[in-house]
Each structure stands twice: as C-alpha cells, then as structure tokens.
Amino acid sequence: MKHYVKMAASAIALTCATAAFAEPQAEVLHYWTSGGEAKSVAVLQQEFADNGGTWIDMPVAGGGGDAAMTALRARVLSGNAPTAVQLKGPAIQEWYEEGVLADISAVAEAEGWADVLPASIAGHMKCDDIWCAAPVNVHRVDWIWANADVLEANGITMPTTWDEFNAAAEKLQAAGITPLAHGGQAWQDATVFEAVALGILGPDGFRKAFVDLDMDTLKSDGMVAVFDQMRTLRGYVDDNFSGRDWNLATAMVINGEAGFQIMGDWAKGEFIAAGKVPGDDFLCLSTPGDGFLYNVDSFAMFDVDGADKKAGQELLAKLTVGKNFQKVFNLNKGSIPARTDVDLADFDSCAHLSSDDMSASADNGSLLPSYAHGMALRGAQAGAITDVVTAHFNSDMSSADAVQMLADAVANSM
C-alpha cells in the first residue's frame, strides 16, 4: 500500500512538473490579414516565439470577422476549439454563456490588469467575476482619412461638419476624383452609418438608439436626417464599390484615386505600411460631431485540454497586455494601447489626437461602444440594424421608410 501511494505521488508530481514546464503552444484564430494587420500580428507571433512558445496561425480573411466566426463555431461544435480567438464586446459574453471559455484570472491578477486598464475596457474582458479575455488595443471608429495632396490641389481643408464634407465631396467630384472610397460590404456600410449617426444624433442620442435601443430615438426625425446623409454619401461612391475590401478602399486614398475614407483607425495601419506620413501624405480627423466610438480587439481564451495549450494561453495573455506588445503592436496597427501607462512618445499625431479625445470623452460621458463593430449590441440586434442600413444604401428607399423598417427590425430582434 505504501509503495502504491509512493508511486501515485510520484505520478502526480510528474504531471505537475510536466504542466509547469510544458512548451507553450497556441493555435490562434484571427482575421488580421491585410498588410498593416498582418504586420501587427506578426509582432505578437515573434514575441511568443522569443518566449519559448509555438504559434499555430489560423487567419481567416474578412475585415468584419464574419467568416472567422463561422469557422470558430464549426471548430467549437466539433469539440476542437482553438486556443485563443480574436473576439470582442458582447460576443465574448455569448461564448462564455455557452460554457466554452477559460478562466485567465490568475494571469490578470498577477499582471495587475485592473490597475492599468480603463474600467470600461476591463468590463468587456470579464465574464461575471472572472477574466476571460485579454485586450489588445483601442480603435477609434469615427475617423475621416484623406489624401493630403488631393485636398491641397483642390483647395479643400478637412471638414468639421457634414455640410462641409458634402461641399468638399462635390468639389472633388467636379474634378473627376472619387470623393469617398468605400467598400460595399455590410460592416463597412454600418461603420459609415454609425459615424453619421453620432454626428447628427449626438452622444446621448447615439446611446439611446444603439445601446439602449430606445424606440422613440430610432423613429425620430434625427434618424431620418441620418439616413438623408447616408443617401447623400451614396452619391459620392464610385460605381465599382460593391464587395470591395476595406483595405482596397484605403489604397484608393493612398494612391490619390479618392479623396476621403470614413473608417476606423486600422486604416492608418495601411497608410503606415505604405510608407506614408501622417500630416504630410495623409490627414486624419474625427467625423463631424462630438463623442468617441471605440472598438476593442481582444483575445478570448477557449477551454482546451493539454498542459502545453494551457501554458500557451497564459503566455499569450501575459504578452498581449504587456507594455512592449501594447506599444509595438499599436504602432503598426494604427490603434492606441488599451493600457493607460504606455508611453506614447513614439506614436504619431493621429494616435495622440485619439488618446486625447478618448480621455476627454471618458470624462464627459461621450465614450461610446461601436454598434457596427460588435461592442454595443449582441448579434441579433446589431444584425437587424445593419440589414436595414445596407438595404437603404443599395436602393432608392426613402429615409422615412428606412426609419420605419429600422424600428420594426429592432423590435422583431428583441
């Protein structure tokens, strides 16, 4: 009996030692596949390898992440979940409710995440009282990007109101230049729509409409005005926009084929990857109006078996929120660090503007989660809104009809 106990104890000790010294392994499902994005995720791959880990890359193309989520569901249903997945917002909570996420609280507590992450950002990373995801960055969604030479050649300054934007677009159109680079994909339509909505409805109106789903706001005259501006913007898009990926729209601005693009600051990563300099080659300014729409990328850790995979999750979580990766990744990606204690001295003017605006918006209550990028609403409600936005953008539907359809779609999705 004593011999058996000794053998059992030895077996347990060996298992623990194996877990402690297991080579970290992480299969990472993500949709960072464009030039600037691929360069950014390569930073984490290298740091993971430098710390003794083996990274198994699983990129799924598609800027909105829909294809990646389809691939994820298939993997989870087959009982073979990836180690870590690029997720955000309520989608994290939805997967947690399905009982498939891992608890990484030990890493979060050891690294002091609660002390260096804004409360609003930390809230998205928690499932009930446990940490289940690691934030990578903070993207601002409501940006206008412009080709500096194109604007200067046509006597245009960056617009601060929608009327100014429309006037600038008319001038570009008269000069034979596409005013607005855009890709006809649902998530891109939604990105432009929510930027317009923030400017016209204001922060309080935006919160009521796209966070609280307040029916009076969804059916308001202000919402009619939002769809009116979307109809105007539709007239500034070239005929070949349908199905165009967002980074190809950015390339139109980079190459001087178009004057403006309304897109989150991941677009800046494309400018930077192309060797362009902010303030000289391209310009950035928030879309007209007050407020700040944020989109936070993160890695959610899925419940997996194997000491090597668990070690991989712990290492990946630690490195993701670490100061070095937060700095280097966001310098490449175009976003700003999720950590508040990262030195921004090496960041460009657009990043400094984003950081300053985020702080000011957090103070005055206008720091708002993006509905278009999965931060404000669950899938059914967000999808219902986007379906209406895309239907309106690609037809002659009146703004009044769009507003009624919007209210009906939201009500039916509840």
pLDDT tens digits for range 359-384: 889 888 899 999 999 899 988 999 99
Asked if pLDDT for residue 16 goes beyond 60, the answer is: no
Q: What is the 3-state secondary structure (H, E, C) of the chain?
A: CHHHHHHHHHHHHHHHHHHHCCCCEEEEEECCCCHHHHHHHHHHHHHHHHCCCEEEEEECCCCCCHHHHHHHHHHHHCCCCCCEEEECCHHHHHHHHCCCECCCHHHHHHHCHHHHCCHHHHHHCEECCEECEEECCEEECCEEEEEHHHHHHCCCCCCCCHHHHHHHHHHHHHCCCEEECCCECHHHHHHHHHHHHHHHHHHHHHHHHHCCCCHHHHCCHHHHHHHHHHHHHHCCCCCCCECCCHHHHHHHHHCCCEEEEECCCHHHHHHHHCCCCECCCEEEEECCCCCEEEECCEEEEECCCCHHHHHHHHHHHHHHHCHHHHHHHHHHHCCECCCCCCCCCCCCHHHHHHHHHHHHHHHHCCEEECCCCCCCCCHHHHHHHHHHHHHHHCCCCCHHHHHHHHHHHHHHHC
Per-residue confidence at 3, pLDDT binned at 50, 70, 90?
very low
Question: Looking only at Cα atoms, what is the longest distance across the chain?
Answer: 92
- Whether residue 293 contacts residue 141, with contact meaning beta carbons closer than 8 Å, is answered with yes
Nearest to 220 by CA among 232, 204, 233, 238: 204
Report the C-alpha gap between 205 and 217 in whole angstroms. Answer: 7
Q: Which two tokens stand for residue 402?
A: 């769009």
Report the C-alpha gap between 351 and 343 in whole angstroms. Answer: 12
> Considering the chain, what is the average pLDDT of its residues?
92
Asked if pLDDT for residue 8 goes beyond 80, the answer is: no
Single pTM value for the model:
0.83
Top pLDDT among 262 and 42 is at 262
Q: What is the mean pLDDT of residues 113-119?
A: 91
Architecture of domain 2-139+296-348 in CATH? Answer: 3-Layer(aba) Sandwich (3.40)
Q: Where in the chain is the domain with CATH 3.40.190.10?
A: 2-139+296-348, 140-294+351-413
Span 255-313, pLDDT tens digits:
999 999 999 998 998 998 899 999 999 999 999 999 999 999 999 999 999 999 999 99
pLDDT for position 333: 82
Q: Name the burial class of residue 110, with classes exposed (0-12), middle (13-18) and buried (19+) by CB atoms within 10 angstroms of its CB.
A: exposed
Residue count (the chain): 414
Ramachandran angles phi, psi of 393, nearest 5°: -65, -30
pLDDT for position 6: 41
C-alpha torsion angle, residues 246, 252, 255, 259 (rounded to 10): -120
Report the C-alpha gap between 56 and 38 in whole angstroms. Answer: 14
pLDDT for position 212: 97
Sign, CA dihedral 206-278-328-65, equals: positive
Lowest mean pLDDT among 39-53, 54-68, 189-203, 245-259: 54-68
Asked if pLDDT for residue 213 goes beyond 80, the answer is: yes
Lowest mean pLDDT among 18-32, 203-217, 269-283: 18-32
Q: What is the mean pLDDT of residues 350-364?
A: 90
The gap between the terminal CA atoms of the chain, to the nearest Å, is 62
Asked if pLDDT for residue 343 goes beyond 90, the answer is: yes
Per-residue confidence at 13, pLDDT binned at 50, 70, 90?
very low
Assigned superfamily of 140-294+351-413: Periplasmic binding protein-like II (3.40.190.10)
pLDDT for position 65: 84
pLDDT for position 21: 59
| Cα distances (angstroms) measured from residue 233 to each of 166, 238, 261, 266 | 8, 11, 11, 21
Asked if pLDDT for residue 198 goes beyond 80, the answer is: yes
Span 238-266, pLDDT tens digits:
999 999 999 999 999 999 999 999 999 98
Per-residue confidence at 122, pLDDT binned at 50, 70, 90?
very high
Asked if pLDDT for residue 28 goes beyond 60, the answer is: yes
Asked if pLDDT for residue 94 goes beyond 70, the answer is: yes
Asked if pLDDT for residue 19 goes beyond 80, the answer is: no
Asked if pLDDT for residue 222 goes beyond 50, the answer is: yes
pLDDT for position 63: 63
Q: Name the burial class of residue 150, with classes exposed (0-12), middle (13-18) and buried (19+) by CB atoms within 10 angstroms of its CB.
A: buried
pLDDT for position 18: 42
